[in-house]
């Protein structure tokens, strides 16, 4: 009698585990594709222009005359006190 109860309990647990795994897999697949499509930025859907078109734009004299209004890197001004940090580029303050 004890073997039969253990066997039934084992089958019951297996059915619950299989059903849970099936439910998780089936419910996660459609929602993942919906989430990706709903929250995808618009610029990712635009096609990449062909290389010839990009070369025409880059070779345009007006494009080559463009200048940045701000520099990419702003120098860090530090006083001449303490040790120099070799991992941080800096410009020392000029003493007047």
Instruction: Give the model's confidence band at 16: pLDDT under 50 very low, under 70 low, under 90 confident, else very high.
Output: very high
- Flag the least confident range among 5-9, 55-59, 63-67, 88-92: 88-92
**The two three-digit tokens of residue 36, written as one number:** 């990706």
- The model's pLDDT over 68-93, given as tens digits with 9 standing for 90+, comes to 666 666 666 656 666 666 666 655 55
CA 59 to chain centre: 32
CA atoms within 13 A on the CB side of 55: 3
**The two three-digit tokens of residue 62, written as one number:** 């007006």
DSSP state of 61: H
More confident residue, 93 or 56: 56
User: Cα–Cα distances in Å, from 64 out to 7, 11, 71?
Assistant: 79, 74, 17
CA atoms within 13 A on the CB side of 19: 6
């Amino acid at each position: 009698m004890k073997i039969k109860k253990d066997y039934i309990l084992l089958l019951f647990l297996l059915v619950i585990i299989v059903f849970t795994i099936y439910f998780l897999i089936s419910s996660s697949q459609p929602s993942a594709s919906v989430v990706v499509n709903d929250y995808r930025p618009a610029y990712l859907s635009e096609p990449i222009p062909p290389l010839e078109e990009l070369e025409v734009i880059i070779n345009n004299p007006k494009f080559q005359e463009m200048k940045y209004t701000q520099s990419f890197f702003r120098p860090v001004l530090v006083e001449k006190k303490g040790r120099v940090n070799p991992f941080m580029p800096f410009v020392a303050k000029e003493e007047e």
